[in-house]
Structure 1
Amino acid sequence: MSEFLDVPMGGSRRATKSHEDIVAYIDMLYKERHLIAETYCGGRVELTEQNQKRVRRLQQFRVLRPEGTREESFRLGITLNKHLDEVFQRLANYAVGSNFADQIQRLSRLVEEFGMARDEGRVDDQENYLSDFDAAAFEISEEVDALLMHARMSTDNNFANVQTYKEKLRQNEHFLTLMNKVSGTLVALQDRSFLDMLESTLAFEPLNTTYYRHIVDRLPGWRAILLDITSVLKTFLDKERKIGEAAKKIRTMALYLQKNPGYQPRDAEEYALIPDWAYLAPGITINAYPDLSRDDIRENLIETARTIPSLTAAPRKARSAGVLVHDDVVEVMEVKVTAVEAAIINFLRAANDSITPVSAREFLASTPALASIDPKISLLCLMSTIDSRRNSGARLIDGLTITRKTEAEDARSGNVQVWDICACKRA
């Protein structure tokens, strides 16, 4: 079965011999699933007589790798171990990170090689470079996704993979530095010179479409997640500054108690002077009250009561009768109505009293005050009044059936001219 791994150095994934070879390799992984799971969960597997053949077989396909100089101990290969970490969301301290600079530089190199292959008529090489460019862009997209997902998970869980306050603070500083690098990576992924190179010629259209699908179209979402993570990290730092001094004292006391488990605080009487920390506690409030049941202090209470001055009730002040004050006359403000407004109101009232449609053009034209005004202007004012009163729920409009008579000015202009409005009482 080793022949399905015989891929030429530097060849593309299309150099794999057949679909059946890939199925055979996955089937081999399935058969050895228990040994792979044991190695992943335990971190390593020891070579024994019982599993020697299976371990050597997995080593041949680079699923298992020797652990340094210990030839009898094996670990999972980096690629498979990383894949399982992503699937099961297993986090390791300071493990989130990636060198995107080399990957971005590789994209530029692939674009140049693609252009050279096209100019020289090497169609097969051109397809290979296109396939490699697609895979490289997808790999960057997946790594950015995974990086932001792990960072988001760690920050939302308040770095649950570490327990101590000091380690949480270090994790927070680490992720802040990492998010700054990711911010620079997102800027580099949208480099204007690289995008101009992809858009410079139609020959690069497949590369440009692929890059936008994997990278550019996802940049806004990545930036939003990055801002959320950075906000949480900065909030954590702000809380640390507020409680840092108190937490330091508590941590110092905890370390002292660990080193001196038999420590007992002294009694208050053993202190020659009151310690400073005692002043931090609020004092005891003492309330005094007379005990009337004690006969031995009864005479003293009587003498004390005699010294208390008697309180006389203050005389009630007689209230004088009020004076009736007349309200001022309310000023009536006169609202001036223009001739057009008056004619429009009269038209709406006439329409409310009629069950047959009343023509606004004829009604307004019969008004003497509007003789010098263009009928089109009167109709425009009427339409504006109808729209404004309809929006305000005026009763004068709600009870009417209003119809606009229109005609096209020009078949090619697209404009419609309103030459009359008819209204009557709604049935």
Structure 2
Amino acid sequence: MTTGVAHIAAYLEVLHKYRDLVADAYINGGITLSDETQRALYLLKQHRALVPSMQDEFRLNSSLSRHLDEVFLRQRNYAVSANFAEQIDRLPQLIDEYLKACLDNRSEDRDTYSDDFKSGVFELAEGLDSFLALMRSLADNRFANVSTLEQKKRQNEFYLGKCEQIGVALGALQATTLLEQLSGSSLLLPLLQIYQSQILERLPQWRASLMDISTVLKEYLYRLRQVEPQAQRLRAFARFLRKNPDYSPPDVDELNHLPDWCSTFEGFKISAHADLSDNLTRDVLVEIAQAIPAPKLRFAVERQAGQMITDDAQDRVSIIVASPVQRAFALYLKAARLSQVPMSAIEWLRKMPDYPLIDEAAWLVYALHAWQILEAKKKISDLAMRRMEANVAYPGLSEAMSGNLIVTDVEIWKKA
């Protein structure tokens, strides 16, 4: 008991030493971190008198703030109980009153509603954190504070209902109506920042924690329902022994008929394993293994999901459009079939005004390449071709050593 008194006295001594900072945080709704107050604020945070609100800002703990409200009879607008639904319903009213005060230029009322909104958001966030922490501890220790099965079952069902209420509350905090109200005016930007930092950014963490707790509670409730019949039989047997303290179980060998519980006993499950240390056993196992056929490997091919075809859908037809050089070469072959004398490809291209963008060098390359393809397919057996080549020697090399042949033109004509 002396140690507890000493700890409480030390805690109150810290509050008394930094009473000016505590009063400042209570009156102004928060206090900003600075070089002079850094050590003091972190010490108050360590003693849970202050909690972080935003970056480099601290606010008074909600429980301590409520205590000071009661001491100094401070009245809050739209005061509610600890019910989360009522606390959430209070926020739109405070937002509306804050916006009206801003539009009417009532600075004192605006600050009052701003402080009330921030306090409501902080209390709501702290309440959710505390409740989820309590639920986590109860779920992890399996309601160790109660001793009977019925108490554990009732607590489990009760807190499962509370988890459903918390889920509804989290859905209301993320409702589009409240967010649209906060985003409807630039005057509400300070309230929106507080709501985002304290509620919206922590919603995923709260949802994940609530899902884990609900999973543990449901699994534990399922186990309790499985244990319940066995527990009832044990309690009935315990009552029977209390009423009959001299009872002793009969000898099974003296019974003409086995009791009913013998028929429900599953017995011991015996499993045999081969002795690999014995060489004879190993040889037999090798023969068995060799007699087992090899498994057939089958690879499952996943089919891609199809799409619904509407009644008015039409079959798609892919139209392949020839390039300009392809169309030009087709016309050139058509003209060559009508000519009995060799027809120059370069001169023919220069006379065609429809293809001014075709480069002459690219035209010759395509003509030679297309001629090889058509010749392999035997589609130009009625035509003849002649290449006009020029030997080019690079500086420093002789004409005989250069080996480079330059095609300057191509002539095609119809065979006689």
Tell me the TM-score normalised to structure 1 length. Answer: 0.43
